[in-house]
Chain A
Amino acid sequence: MSNQLAIEATGLTKAYGTTEVLGGVDLRVAPGSVFSLLGPNGAGKTTVVRILSTLLRPDGGRARVAGFDIAAQRHQVRRRISLTGQYAALDGLQTGAENLRMMARLSGLRGAAARRRAGELLARFGLEDAAGRRVATYSGGMRRRLDLAASLVGYPAVIFLDEPTTGLDLPSRQNMWQVIGDLAGSGVTIFLTTQYLEEADLLAGRVAVLDGGRIVAEGTTAELKARVAGQRLDLTLAGPAEFAEAGRRLGDRATHRDPPALTLGIPTDGTAPAIRALLDEIDPERALIGAFAVRATSLDDVFLALTQKETAHV
């Protein structure tokens, strides 16, 4: 069975000097699926992508991508993947069409075929009107779309997208989501990194949460949300001293802390007995809590709960 996985990584480690970047990462991605590696800045997401796309050698661990070993069969892997990094890998002084034709030729297409493939992709990504303009004049969103188009010229089996929407405004991000969503289901495997939960939730079937160089959770977004209770009880404390005291009593259980607003958030199922019990437990003297509110858990709560748990262990 494992031979059929698009990506299979076991125990990947990487350190720069004494700084550990990856502390043993395991990943399994089914072919044709969209998989998201989610994590805050500095979690090691780009390092994972660079290792899997053969640009960086891991210190330890093994991985197979598109059926080939990333160390021993680097060239076979490269023939089957594409990489779109955080910074558009395009020549600003060439036009959009020239960039795509160049990538098509480098992928082995000749003359007319390269021209046809470039035209096809420009049309598919809504860049026909800008095809004859130099890329330096493109907006950020257009550049990302062209970058993604460039990564598709060679019909890759596995596509790596490293933070494809970072730095884009909302309309451009939505446009990218649309484009990536259209790609999914076409048979290619998409490995996407992001720091936005919304993006992972929207695009990916499965999500792995990377924090401090380790996978702290993995599953579907629904499974991840279920790991944290469905509601959050927000307590607004009477003053800074009360905030500190309640925070001390709650410890790790407070997944949300907002000192300026004197607010603490605790996951709960939202039922009256549970909330009554919680209030009694934290504030038996009825002196700390000024007000409370119950709200639905956002994915941010899940993310914070997962990543904070990890830092608590370190």
Chain B
Amino acid sequence: MSDLTAAMPAPYRGRRATAWPFSPPGDYLTMAARCARLASREIDALMTSLFLPVMLMVTFVYLFGGAISTGTRYITYVVPGVLLLCAGVGSASTAVTVCRDMTGGIIDRFRAMDIGSLPMLAGHVAASVVRNAASSVLVFAVALGIGFRPHAGPVAWAGVAGLLLLFVLALSWLAAAVGLLVSSPEAANAFMFVPMIVTYASSAFVPVRTMPVWLHGFASHQPATPVIETLRGLLLGTHLGATGWQAVAWCGGILVASVALSAAAFRHRTR
């Protein structure tokens, strides 16, 4: 039986000897580079993801800010919310890019090349992280320019970056799962409204106590509120309390669940 493949040329792909389901690390890098390159060349989408957050912040600060009383300067109050909103909306577009891959021809080639589902999806998530990092830096820069004055040391800044990264990872993976579950990129685009609504119904833009009473339960016990309160605490140097751990737990939980859901959805879709 050892001559089973006697008449066949020897397989070339030596490194593919990695035991399933673990993909070679190189696949992750190649896929991340691919998605980052594609994202950087989709100029209109890129511009939207970079400038929409800035426009939103300007809108909130100058148009709504005067009418909202939060006890502090509104710009100080609203920057963490804008950051989270833009990270959420920016991550949501992962659903579109994943869905586009799944409905195009390239997915069949990748599968026939035995590229695992995780490197394929992780590439899109990596591109999302890079995009969101750029838009977050831009938001911070503009915020500083229009009067945002944080009181954060290096450790707190690292905490802000880490939490935003975790949030973007969690939401991008959730978006990837959604991209696998819907049938068209147009439908995937609608996922953008989920982080939007969740952020609006949190302490991002207005204090929870100003909302109708029936909304208090949701607004206080949903993931965006502890994340925003943590960002606020870190940036302004106030006491965090339990919100830090709540924020990490929420994001970590969403991340783990979303990766598992993505793997299952991919298997289901390619059965």
Which residues does A use to contact B, with CB under 8 Å?
3-4, 6, 31-32, 50, 53-55, 57, 66-68, 75-76, 78-91, 93-94, 98, 102-103, 105-108, 110, 134, 150-151, 154-155, 157, 160, 187-188
With A57-B271, A89-B106 given, is the CB distance from A94 to B11 under 8 Å?
no
Do B14 and A108 have beta carbons less than 8 Å apart?
Answer: yes
Q: CB-CB < 8 A to B33: which residues of A?
A: 102
B151-188 toward A: CB 8 Å interface, digit per residue (1/0)? 00000000000000000000000000000000000000
| CB-CB under 8 A for A67 and B106, given A91-B38, A105-B26 | no
| A89 contacts B109, C-beta separation under 8 Å | yes
Contacts A3-B4, A55-B270, A188-B9; is A79 near B16 (CB within 8 Å)?
yes
Would A108 and B7 count as touching, CB distance under 8 A? no
Q: Is B20 within 8 A of A75, CB to CB?
A: yes
Provide the bound-state CA to CA distance between A206 and B5, in Å. Answer: 22
A contact patch SS: loop
- Name A93's contact: one of B11, B42, B113 (CB within 8 Å): B42
Contact B105 A87 (CB under 8 A): yes
- Residues in B with CB closer than 8 Å to A82 are 112-113
Give which listed residue, A67, A75, A105, A134, contacts B8 with CB less than 8 A.
A67
Q: Distance (Å) between the CB of B38 and the closest chain A CB?
A: 5
State how many residues of chain B have any CB contact under 8 Å with chain A.
39
B123 to chain A, nearest CB (A): 11
Instruction: Give 3 nearest A-B pairs by CB, closest first.
Output: A78-B114, A87-B105, A89-B109
Residues of B within 8 A of A84 (CB): 109
In Å, the complex CA distance between A89 and B105 comes to 5
Name A4's closest neighbour in chain B (CB-CB).
B7
Minimum C-beta distance from B268 to chain A (A): 13
Specify which chain A residues have a CB less than 8 angstroms from the CB of B106 in the assembled complex: 89-91
Least distance between B158 CB and chain A CB atoms (Å)? 33
Report B248-271 CB contacts with A as 1/0, cut-off 8 Å.
000000000000000000000011
Other A-B contacts than A75-B114, A81-B112, A82-B113, 7 sampled, CB-CB below 8 A, are A4-B6, A50-B108, A57-B271, A79-B114, A83-B112, A94-B37, A103-B109
- In the complex, whether B115 has a CB less than 8 A from a CB of chain A is yes
Chain B positions 1-25 with a Cβ under 8 Å from a chain A Cβ: 1, 3-9, 11-16, 20, 24
| Contact status A106-B8, CB under 8 Å | no
Contact, CB under 8 Å: A157 / B30: no
Say yes or no: A80 contacts B11, CB within 8 Å.
yes
Interface centre among A50, A54, A79, A88 (most CB of B within 10 A): A79
Q: Would you call A107 and B3 a contact (CB within 8 A)? A: no
Q: Is the CB of A155 within 8 A of B270?
A: no
Please tell me if the beta carbons of A155 and B112 are within 8 angstroms of each other in the complex. Answer: no
Question: Are B105 and A85 within 8 A (Cβ)?
Answer: yes
Least CB distance from B36 to A in Å reads 11
Query: Which B residues have a C-beta under 8 Å from some C-beta of A?
Result: 1, 3-9, 11-16, 20, 24, 26-27, 30, 33-34, 37-38, 41-42, 104-115, 270-271
For residue B202, give the distance in angstroms from its CB to the closest CB of chain A.
35
Question: Chain A residues with Cβ under 8 A from B42's Cβ?
Answer: 93
Contact between chains at A53 and B112 (CB < 8 Å): yes
Nearest chain A CB to B120's CB is how many angstroms away? 10
B13, B106, B113, B270 interface centre (most CB from chain A within 10 Å): B113
Residues of B within 8 A of A53 (CB): 112
B15 touches A91 (CB 8 A): no
User: Taking CB as reference atom, which chain B residue is nearest A80?
Assistant: B11
Closest B residue to A188 using CB positions = B9
| B11 contacts A79, C-beta separation under 8 Å | yes
- Complex contacts, B110 vs chain A, CB 8 Å: 106
| Chain B residues in 8 Å Cβ range of A85 | 105, 108-109
- Interface contact A55-B112, CB-CB below 8 Å: yes
Would you call A157 and B37 a contact (CB within 8 A)?
A: no
Complex Cα gap A4–B11 (Å): 15
Contact A6 B8 (CB under 8 A): yes
> A89 CA to B24 CA in the complex, in Å?
22
Closest chain B residue to A101, Cβ basis: B30
Cβ of B115: which chain A residues have Cβ within 8 Å of it? 106
Can you list 6 A-B contacts with CB-CB less than 8 angstroms, sorted by A residue number? A68-B5, A78-B113, A83-B109, A84-B109, A90-B106, A155-B11
When the two chains form their complex, are residues B109 and A151 in contact, meaning their CB atoms are under 8 A apart? Answer: yes
Cβ contacts under 8 Å, A108 to chain B = 12-16, 24, 26
In the complex, the answer to whether B37 meets A98 with C-beta atoms within 8 Å is yes
Collect the chain B residues with CB atoms within 8 Å of residue A78's CB. 111-114
Could you say which residues of chain B place their CB within 8 Å of the CB of A3?
1, 3-4, 6
Closest to A32 in B: B7
Closest Cβ of chain B to A168, distance in Å, is 16
Instruction: Tell me whether B27 and A93 are in contact (CB under 8 A).
Output: no
Instruction: Out of A31, A67, A88, A155, name the residue touching B12 (CB < 8 Å).
Output: A155
Report chain B residues within 8 Å CB of A187. 9
